[in-house]
Amino acid sequence: MASKMTLRVQLLVLQALIVFLVTLATGIVAGAFQEQALREAYKDRMQAVAQSIAALPAVQSAFDDADPSAAIQPIAEVIREASDLAYVVVANEDGIRYSHPNPSRIGEKVSTDPSIPLSGEIYVGTQTGTLGTSWRVKVPIRDDEGTVIGTASVGILESELNEEFSANLVWLISAMLAAAVLGVFGSAWVTSVIRRRIYRLEPHQIAALVKNQETTLHGLSEGVITVDDRGRITLVNDAAARFLGTDAAHLDGAPAAEVLGEELATVLREGEAAGRPVIVGSHVLVARSTGSEADDGGVGATLLLRDHTELHDVVRRVEAADAIIAFRQRFGIPKGLSAETLERVSSALAARTDATASEIGDDLDISRVSARRYLEHLASSGRATRSLDYTTKGRPSTRYGSIDAV
């Protein structure tokens, strides 16, 4: 049963679905890359800021002051505002803060574990502190001798990071929607081109045409062979395969020049609209071709083969019969009479003084009508006499007499 949706709708829906899925997958991957790129950009910035703070002589020397925060807090705030970060926190080796965006937090112990930077390593990751969950970098602060004396921690809140990512995501979604719309319009155009190429037929109509073509093609008494421009057979029906004495599957895709034979290949190459008699095995065929040889040696054509074997036999029989008739006419024997029977009738008539057709028929065991035909021929050719007998009842009868007997 044919689908309720037309081929145009099916093609459009399928292509639109593919465009949507590809656009969505591309958007997801692009979003993931964008978020990763955003985090990497902030990580590089935060690491550069943290390392620059840890390397500042003013910060390092302030660790020996009685009130380190007095010198470190102003520097940290200037750098935080200039680098557009959420916080810049400097702490000593005990984790006591010397700077914080909230001055009241100065002098308190940091809320997250500082063991990694205090061990001399750089920490990058997400942790939850006094300002909330943030993406942060922690680096060690070393003195002139290289001993770790504290940590510098900088970061940006995850909420701010998500806001920036969402702002960029708007442009990404807009681009995805634009691509999807363009894809749908492109799908509609492709669908229109495909529909024109198949003459706006529906799948069930195409299937019916193919089925009818196969049925008609293989039901033809004429042989049909189609050859492409490379000289290879692309289509052959059962009749053509039968004429060539092979299987259709064996001919499909085979070089025409190799399987058709020299005479048929010549007809195919040169073209023959009127038809040319060709003998293939026991078949007398009339071959017609619609194509001609191209400059590159290729042949693209259709070869039609009509079997005239039976007609040829009939013609031969007719010619033989005409020859017999001519022979008989040459010797004065009309069509339908045999010389042997004529001789028997003449002998039977000579044995009598005269006789009727019935009497001769009884003598030779042939019908009265046949006897009369032979007697009439003898009378008309002057070899017998013909007379009417009025002694019989009813209509007079015809009696025949032999000239020789007379």
pLDDT in tens, 342-361: 888 888 888 888 888 888 88
pLDDT in tens, 95-118: 999 999 999 999 999 988 899 999
pLDDT in tens, 270-315: 777 777 888 777 777 888 887 655 555 555 688 888 877 766 666 6
- The pLDDT of residue 48 is above 80: yes
Q: Answer for the pair 400, 386: CB distance below 8 angstroms, yes or no.
A: yes
Residue 327: band (very low, low, confident or very high) from pLDDT cuts 50, 70, 90: low
pLDDT computed for residue 261 by the predictor:
77
Nearest to 5 by CA among 173, 191, 136: 191
Selected residue with higher pLDDT from 391 and 384: 384
Amino acid of residue 351: A
Per the confidence metrics, is the pTM higher than 0.85? no
Q: Answer for the pair 225, 302: CB distance below 8 angstroms, yes or no.
A: yes
- The pLDDT of residue 2 is above 70: no
Nearest to 83 by CA among 114, 46, 36, 44: 46
Tell me the three state secondary structure of residue 280. Answer: strand
Nearest to 294 by CA among 235, 230, 224: 230
Q: How far apart are CA 15 and CA 3, in angstroms?
A: 18
Q: How far apart are CA 52 and CA 245, in angstroms?
A: 92
Nearest to 288 by CA among 307, 309, 302, 299: 302
